[in-house]
A and B are shown apart, each in its own frame.
Chain A
């Protein structure tokens, strides 16, 4: 018989590389970035602390303001849009439709593709000279205009549309699983009380799925903060930097403009955004348990 210490030693030994990788690559790198955001770093890292100077400069940068504001516009519209469409599709599919499998497959397939593919497909579809606009015009509606892709004020909304297209299927799948797990007796009770189906969904069934909704919101919120590929493929942040997002701002700052200080400060702001999105979730989880 091996002693308790010996048994644990194998387990510990097996986990050691992972622990080292986690400590160095996740937490070590995170600490490095946070530290560097308070230094004089420019093209190369420099370890002289200068307080909040990088953040002062960051918040004085118009491009950062646009990126950060875009994250909220994109976040609010994408999360509400995907949640509403995904839940609606789940509810409709749940009402015993024909060809349920086909609908489910169609709603979910975009999720399997790269954001680069999604971005390019939507870029061509929304292109004013080759895509939807020219098609509608060729049908005879000569004044039809849909040029959001090249419109400074509207470009960010094309990213919202493409992201909803890619993400709604996931919400549908999660919510449908939730709907299918609702107890038969709940439906019987609403039936006995003579509550109409739609009313039963709104007042009884969906409130029961609240934990799932919160999970969906967290998943979508993390997608928002991490969104990079989609912007690169769809608008490349343009026109100008009108549809830029923080994830792209950081990568450009670090690897194109070679400004490590600014990249680090912006990355720390992204981290704060993730914490802000997660805090209510962990608070709820803790309170429930």
Chain B
């Protein structure tokens, strides 16, 4: 189809020329390159600054390349960056985020997959209503729910704990994930289930031996959505995780916001890079799945 587009350009303005270098084409590339710079510069500056020592930062400009690039600030950010008087580095937040992420991702995907399968293939009176309620739930702003949720979790003794924040992530992930799985399993012909049922397979047997092996693609999409979403979460971690379990994003903001002593921009920026890196790696590894993951719930729902 892109070929057709180009032919249109050629036929609508036919000019005797060997190459396709037209002013329009140059303008197009110029705009794309300027846009690319707009998207790259903020992160490149953070990266650039994280490689410089402090005296070089004070003397020079943000665009100056480091004279002697070094990851010293990264090491300092990892092991001894300070939040107030606590100087244990951003690794504390990193490991907290990992501890929150792993169970949240596994349980939310497992529960949502089984829910989606039940809603798609084992319908009953009222299952459409549940689906509608889930879908609307995805649109409620967190702020409407936060305070009463804090009270509920305090009542059951989970507020400010690791299990507490994990439960919160699982619950808040349910609507979108369930919709994604439900849409996926709706596409699988019901005859398949019927045949399995005649052979005597039950709800879980069919799910684990037939459905799950067919779900690789949608599992990858869900995985990307949850890993980046939970890693990047700030608000839920801030409110529900408690002082001991603050995720990396919250700790990063605290480190940068701490004004004890001299500002160490290189350490702040190294800490920022370290926080940005895990989802960036997921992004670069996942390619086209990433877009599907980000848009799946919203566009299809």
Contact = CB atoms under 8 A, between A and B. Distances in A.
Interface of A: 2, 7-8, 10-12, 14-15, 17-19, 21-22, 24-30, 32-33, 45, 85, 88-89, 92-97, 103, 105-118, 120-122, 124-125, 130-132, 134-135, 138, 165, 169-170, 173-174, 177, 180, 182, 184, 187-188, 190-191, 194-197, 200, 215, 218-219, 222, 225-226, 228-229, 232-233, 236, 246-247, 250-251, 254-255, 260, 263-264, 266-268, 270-271, 274, 278
Contacts of A15: 115, 118-119, 127, 130
Contacts of B102: none
A215 B1 CA distance: 24
A169 B256 contact: no
15 contacts: A11-B118, A26-B133, A29-B148, A33-B147, A107-B36, A109-B43, A113-B276, A120-B46, A121-B42, A180-B1, A187-B1, A191-B8, A191-B12, A196-B13, A218-B298
A156 to B, nearest CB: 18
Contact of A108 (B62, B122, B256, B291): B291
A125 to B, nearest CB: 5
B174 A22 contact: yes
Contacts of B280: 109, 112-113
A22 B134 contact: yes
Contact of B61 (A124, A138, A218): A138
> Among B38, B143, B233, which residue has the most Cβ atoms of chain A within 10 A?
B143
B152 A33 contact: no
A271 B36 CA distance: 36
B141 A225 contact: yes
B3 interface: yes
> Among A2, A29, A122, A274, which residue has the most Cβ atoms of chain B within 10 A?
A29
A263 B202 CA distance: 48
B42 to A, nearest CB: 4
A93 to B, nearest CB: 8
B295 interface: yes
B157 to A, nearest CB: 16
Interface stretch (B25-33, B158-166, B183-191): B25-33
